[in-house]
Amino acid sequence: MSPKPHRILIERVSGYADEAGAYLRRRRATRQPFARVFYAGDRSAAFEPGTEEGRALFLAASRMIDAADR
Amino acid sequence: MSRTEDERPASDPGKRTADAELAVARMTEMSVDMRGCAVLGGDGEELASSGGSGWARAGAAFLEAADSAQGEPAVQVHVATEDGEAFAVREGELAMVAVAERFTLASLILFDMRTVLRDLASGNGVPDRRAPVQEDP
């Protein structure tokens, strides 16, 4: 006997939800701090925390986070 | 005769501040992961903020750090730290800076910031985009 149509739909939706949950878990586990700046003309540049520019960006970001939490 | 809020010209500082406050309110309402945001004017002054203090100084320093990273003006900035994520978007002479929870969906936050700031910079107020426009019968 074939499963009822609504059951197929529910299984499919819960399959997608499982995939989305797994993606978010992987993202949390692997994501490192980063700084990215976007410029006119769809250009962008990433700055590592070890560089002078990266340090300045991370410091400024920390101050802004402090301003939000104050 | 006094003018109502909507009749004031876009260049009116009072209307500009009211629109900026509306933009901040809309942004805070749309983005659940948002911890705070502010709209900064052309001189780096704070036009409106969702709370906290020192936004003008911290936001201006954030934009300054982004501009000097490669020696050209940044249009958008995203820095993810252990304590949260910081964003900035520029539109004309206005800028919006925001702080969100860690691991937020950055593309959605940036999209919302760009939309709200573009409406604000147009000088025509910040429309409510949450629902379709209701036509009169």
Per-residue pLDDT tens digits for A31-67 = 789 999 999 999 999 999 899 999 999 999 999 999 9
- Domain housing B39: 9-122
Q: Which of A26, A58, A65, A66 to mutate to test the interface with B (most CBs of B within 10 A)?
A: A65
Residue at B129 is within a domain:
no
B77 part of a folded domain = yes
Q: Is residue B19 part of a domain?
A: yes
**Among B residues 60-119, those touching chain A with beta carbons less than 8 Å apart:** 61-62, 64-66, 68-70, 72-84, 86, 97, 99, 103
- CATH code assigned at B36: 3.30.450.30
Token match 């520019």: residue?
A53
pTM: 0.77
Counted domains in chain B? 1
Measured N-to-C along each axis, helices B55-70 and A52-69 cross at an angle, to the nearest 10 degrees, of 160
Under 8 Å CB pairs connecting chains A and B tally to 113
Q: Residue B109 in contact with residue B33, Cβ under 8 Å?
A: yes
CB B18 within 8 A of CB B5: yes
Q: Which ipTM did the prediction report?
A: 0.81
Question: A23 to chain B: which residues are within 8 Å by CB?
Answer: none
pLDDT tens string B22-52: 899 989 888 888 999 999 998 888 999 998 7
Is residue B135 situated within a structural domain? Answer: no
Closest CA in chain A for residue B60: A60
